Structure 1
Amino acid sequence: MISLLRGTVLATSAQHVILDVGGVGFTIFATPATMAELRIGHEATIPTSFIVRDDAMMLYGFADDDERDTFNILISLSGIGPKIALAVLSVHTPDTLRSIVERDDVAGLVQVPGIGRKGAQRILLELGNKLGPARSQVEAAAPSTVSADVITALVGLGWNESVAADTVAAVEADAGPLPVSHMLRLSLQKLGGK
């Protein structure tokens, strides 16, 4: 089991990072929010989950241990693979997910791409109390903080700062205030269309 990697960030993309650990490059798939924290050329410590399947061995990276533990609980559910679990964590923080489970909020889970109403109901039923209680009241970040974080993430992914700022401003104008993960995803979609 590979539970944590520490090394230098060699490259990043929208879905993965390549981390140099002692001369070996590890490809680690992660959420947009996790990717936003990483800078090429800087050292990073990434909690990971190593998944071995018949056809592949893959590493998934997370912002912290809570996110990794939540991912591991999600993939233990029937019908939930790493791709859907990562999608859940791209849309919801672990604490938001706990609140969704506590409220039995099907609509909250349906926001995740790839999860329909029946799937959301099954996930809520199977999760039960596996995640534990919500640790804090979820508060939305101030819009200016979200914008700054997304611009920093886009610059880290290789876009120039003025292009990143213009794209984030356009997304905010279209969609209004959003969490960092949503804003980053929409900004990347807009940039990908150019």
Structure 2
Amino acid sequence: MISSLRGTVAHLGLSSAVLEVGGVGMAVQATPQTLSALRLGEEARVSTALIVREDSLTLFAFADDDEREVFDILLTVSGVGPRLALAVLAVLDPESIRVAAHTEDSKAFTKVPGIGPKVAGRIVLELKGKLVPHGTGESGPVAVVTAGTEAWKPQVVEALSSLGWSEKDASATVDKALKDSPGLAERGDVPEILRATLRWLGQDGARMRGGRG
């Protein structure tokens, strides 16, 4: 099992990155928060989980071992695959997931695209006892990479779409999330706008229902 990678960031996208390790480029999938902390051309370390399928080998990367642990536990829930588990971590930080599971707060999971009430209830039921809160639930700082003001929205929409939202819903959600924060749009800080949008979703509940099961 490949449990971590340390190497130079050779490519950086909104849903994936490539770390060059010993001359080999290793592609990883990750949340926008994890990717926003990486810097092109600089060395980075990420915790990883290798998902093996009959026709593919996919590496998922995380900011630390705690995120990977929660990801692995989410995969034990019936019907939750790696993409959905990653989407959960994009909306809820590990401690928030622990708290939601421990307090049987199924509504917290309906904030994630692709998760409706039935699936959320199953997640809580199967995670009960597996995850115990042990911190404040506060997320760590995320580095900011500035983009041009005309280019930021397509990038943000693309990142949200990779997590399960339709392009139309993603665009509408970004507009609503930034309604009270016009300064973010003016600066065009893509990671910061992503954080604001995901935080808006996390604080205000399940706002987007299109395409959920």
> TM-score under structure 1 normalisation?
0.77
Residue 80 of structure 1 corresponds to which residue in structure 2? 80
Q: Tell me the distance in 2 between the aligned counterparts of 1:140 and 1:19.
A: 24
Question: What displacement does 1:160 show?
Answer: 3.5
Q: Which residue in 1 is equivalent to 2:135?
A: 136
CA distance 1:140–1:183, change in 2 (3 Å): same
- Return closer, same or farther for 1:125/1:3 CA change in 2, 3 Å cut-off: same
5 Å matches for 1:36-51? 36-51=36-51
Report whether the alignment pairs 1:174 with 2:174. no
Structure 1 residue 182 displacement after superposition: 4.1
- Gap change, CA 1:139 and 1:185, over 3 Å in 2: closer
Q: Give the direction of change, closer, same or farther, for the CA distance of 1:163–1:62 in structure 2 (3 Å limit).
A: same
CA contact (8 A) 1:71 1:86 kept: yes
Coordinate RMSD, CA, aligned: 3.0
Give me the identity figure in percent.
40
In structure 2, what is the Cα distance between the partners aligned to 1:184 and 1:28? 23
1:107 offset after TM fit, Å? 1.2
Contact 1:32–1:184 (CA under 8 A) maintained in structure 2: no
Q: 1:99 to 1:30 in 2, by over 3 A?
A: same
Contact 2:33–2:195 (8 Å) recurs in 1: no
Corresponding residue SS for 2:115:
coil
Distance 1:139 1:76, change over 3 A: closer
State the alpha-carbon separation in 1 of the partners of residues 14 and 197 from structure 2. Answer: 9
User: Structure 2 residue aligned with 1:183, among 171, 174, 196?
Assistant: 196
The separation in 1 between residues aligned to 2:177 and 2:53, in whole angstroms, is 40
In structure 2, the partner of 1:57 is 57
Aligned residues: 171
2:67 aligned with 1:91, yes or no? no
Structure with more of its chain in helix, by fraction: 1
What is residue 169 of structure 2 aligned with on the other side? none
Q: Is the 8 A contact 1:47 1:65 kept in 2?
A: yes
How many Å separate the matches in 1 of 2:48 and 2:85? Answer: 14
In the superposition, relative to structure 1, how do residues 182 and 111 fare at CA in structure 2: closer, same or farther (>3 Å)?
farther
Question: Equivalent residue for 1:191?
Answer: none
TM-score (norm 2): 0.71
Unpaired runs of 5+ in structure 1?
Answer: 187-194
Q: Is the 8 A contact 1:38 1:44 kept in 2?
A: yes
Alpha-carbon deviation of 1:138?
3.0
**Structure 2 gaps, min length 5:** 157-174, 182-191, 200-213
Q: Hey, what's the Cα distance between the residues in 2 that align with 1:35 and 1:20?
A: 15
Q: Is the 8 A contact 1:17 1:28 kept in 2?
A: yes
Deviation at 1:76, TM superposition (A): 1.7
Q: Distance in 1 between matches of 2:177 and 2:114?
A: 24
CA contact (8 A) 1:31 1:90 kept: yes
